[in-house]
Amino acid sequence: MTNDHKTTEGRASARLGFAEEDTQKRVQPVDAHSHIVYFVAGEHSGDNHGAALLKALRARAPKMQLLGRGGPKMRAIAGGKFRDWIDETAVVGLWEVIRRYSFFRKQFQATISEIDAARPSAVVLIDYPGFNLRLARALRAKFAELKIIYYISPQVWAWNRRRVSQMARSIDLMLCIFPFESELYEESALRAIFVGHPMMPAFPAQPSAMAIENAPPARSEESRDDTFKVTPRDALATLPCARDDNLIGLFPGSREREVKKIFPVMREAAVELGHENPDLRFAVSAASEPLAELIRADLYGKHATGKFLIVKGEARSLMAKVNVGMVASGTATLEAALSQLPFVLIYRVAWLTYLAARLVVKIKYLGMPNVLANREIVPEFIQHKARPPAIAAAVARLLTDKSERARMLADFAGVAQELGRGDASENAADAIITELRRAG
């Protein structure tokens, strides 16, 4: 990727694939009662974006039948026989996939059988490339006339651009959320539209009620450091509406394996920061109750005596309240940038996964803000470089160095200009309906 991919907001908007004067026309409901559309999302982020897409489709085609597999948010909109399987499928890394190969093979065959039985007009695959790219190939081989649409492009620009020609043989339409992706596909036979990024409507984040609970306090007799006490359970039960100068956010990821690898590093860095500044407090984002339990177990097991809060299911709202973040690589890095939250990126995986990734990943940076900027605007602490003392020092700089914070926030504003006007879900829904009309 080069700086040639940098565009102004206007240029990015021009690639959305829809003329400005068509806006009112696009929002009118259509008669699509005869269409069945099957969706596949396998991660929490895919469930979020999929739910927004389903909502937009419902507004345009109220009688469209929405089937498939995703998470609780998609199921709440689709209802019926839509399956919530996210907690079973949200895994990370090569080794973790290998360990559960028989499970994924069974789910793969079951998904094909469901599609065969439903006979949908189109299948919409949402992110989740390890599963969905294979599914696209299998569906094309079995159902030659089936419309296959992919929403949120696999990051082939990062690991294997040669896959584009293979994807063109099985996918009819690619709906891209980054502007440089549609430019990449222009060189292939795969039709692609830049629809904008689905996160944009949610920013800047607004304060909202959050499910907050204090982490269980370690017993004082077990404390390794009596100078850094756990806050009692009935204190800090709410967070301020604005950013708290002394509140640090820990965002260790939305998958169990990520949390197991990354949260201990974050926790150790937090304890180091607390030793230097006893006024600091730490809010830990947990995507689900099982992950909250995992975090509690870690805090208990290490007799952590810091002022830790566990915040369940409200990562984006938490980002609007903390002063600096420690963020696991992934969707959350872009959320933090769009929330105007200064942060450092942390990532660890199994060594087999890391070594395999080193062989195939073709980009210089891991965090999407850095990828979009084509330079390191956010410090990255990856694998063996993810050392608590170094992380703590970087966080401390963001707490105290006003010029460093200002530079990072200005860079985040530039990143936001790349991502469209905030109507990605609506644009994606329009593109899907247009594709269905083309099919007749």
**What is the end-to-end Cα distance of the chain in Å, rounded?**
38
Give the contacts of 23 (CB within 8 A, at least 6 positions apart). Answer: none
Please count the residues of the chain.
Answer: 440
Looking at residue 219, its pLDDT comes to 38
Looking at residue 222, its pLDDT comes to 37
Looking at residue 214, its pLDDT comes to 54
Looking at residue 6, its pLDDT comes to 39
pLDDT at 236 over 50: no
Q: What percent of the chain has pLDDT over 90?
A: 55
Domain 211-416 coded CATH 3.40.50.2000: yes
Looking at residue 255, its pLDDT comes to 84
Mean pLDDT, residues 388-400? 98
CA 248 to chain centre: 20
Specify the domain boundaries for CATH 3.40.50.2000 within the chain.
3-199+420-439, 211-416
pLDDT at 227 over 60: no
Average pLDDT, the chain: 82
- What is the phi-psi region of residue 334: left when phi exceeds 0, alpha when psi lies from -120 to 50, beta otherwise? alpha
Using alpha carbons, select from 40, 59, 27 the residue that is nearest to residue 149. Answer: 40
Q: What percent of the chain has pLDDT over 70?
A: 78
Contact by Cβ (8 Å): 194, 431: no
pLDDT in tens, 240-290: 667 899 999 999 998 888 999 999 999 999 999 999 999 999 999 998 889
Dist. CA 164–CA 171, nearest whole Å: 10
pLDDT: is 278 or 231 the higher one? 278
Q: Which of 132-136, 211-215, 235-239, 286-290 has the lowest mean pLDDT?
A: 235-239
Level-2 CATH architecture, domain 3-199+420-439: 3-Layer(aba) Sandwich (3.40)
pLDDT: is 380 or 88 the higher one? 380
Dist. CA 59–CA 158, nearest whole Å: 35
Mean pLDDT, residues 23-37? 58
pLDDT in tens, 102-134: 888 999 999 999 999 999 999 999 999 989 999
pLDDT at 29 over 60: no
pLDDT: is 93 or 435 the higher one? 435
Give the contacts of 364 (CB within 8 A, at least 6 positions apart). Answer: none
pLDDT at 91 over 80: no
Name the band, by pLDDT with cuts 50, 70 and 90, for residue 189: confident
Looking at residue 314, its pLDDT comes to 84
Q: Which of 125-139, 202-216, 317-331, 371-385 has the lowest mean pLDDT?
A: 202-216
Looking at residue 230, its pLDDT comes to 36
pLDDT at 378 over 70: yes
Place of tokens 């330079």: 375
Contact by Cβ (8 Å): 304, 103: no
- What is the phi-psi region of residue 163: left when phi exceeds 0, alpha when psi lies from -120 to 50, beta otherwise? alpha
162 CB burial (10 A radius; 0-12, 13-18, 19+): exposed
Mean pLDDT, residues 133-161? 90
Contact by Cβ (8 Å): 299, 204: no
Q: Judge if the upstream peptide bond of residue 120 is cis by omega within 30 degrees of 0.
A: no
Is the sign of the CA dihedral 212, 330, 327, 358 positive or negative? Answer: positive
CA 64 to chain centre: 27
Q: How far is CA 341 from CA 139, 157, 348, 395, 409, in A?
A: 42, 27, 22, 12, 8
pLDDT in tens, 41-72: 998 889 999 999 999 999 999 999 999 999 99
pLDDT in tens, 309-326: 899 888 888 999 999 999
pLDDT: is 228 or 302 the higher one? 302
Place of tokens 């903390």: 322
Q: How far is CA 431 from CA 85, 129, 214, in A?
A: 26, 20, 45
Q: Which of 6-10, 103-107, 341-345, 356-360 has the lowest mean pLDDT?
A: 6-10
Name the band, by pLDDT with cuts 50, 70 and 90, for residue 11: very low
Looking at residue 151, its pLDDT comes to 98
Which residues lie across from 65 on neighbouring strands? 36
Contact by Cβ (8 Å): 66, 57: yes
According to the 3-state scheme, what is the secondary structure of the chain?
CCHHHCCCHHHHHHCCCCCHHHHHHHCCCCCCCCCEEEEEECCHHHHHHHHHHHHHHHHHCCCCEEEEEECHHHHHHHCCCCEECHHHHCCCCHHHHHHCHHHHHHHHHHHHHHHHHHCCCEEEEECCHHHHHHHHHHHHHHCCCCEEEEECCCCHHHHCCCHHHHHHCCCCEEEECCHHHHHHHCCCCCEEEECCCCCHHHCCCCCCCCEEEECCCCCHHHCCCCCCCCCCCCCCCCCCCCCCCCEEEEECCCCHHHHHHHHHHHHHHHHHHHHHCCCCEEEEEECCHHHHHHHHHHHHHCCCCCCEEEEECCHHHHHCCCCEEEEECCHHHHHHHHCCCCEEEEECCCHHHHHHHHHHCCCCCCCHHHHHHCCCCCCEEEHHHCCHHHHHHHHHHHHHCHHHHHHHHHHHHHHHCCCCCCCHHHHHHHHHHHHHHHHC
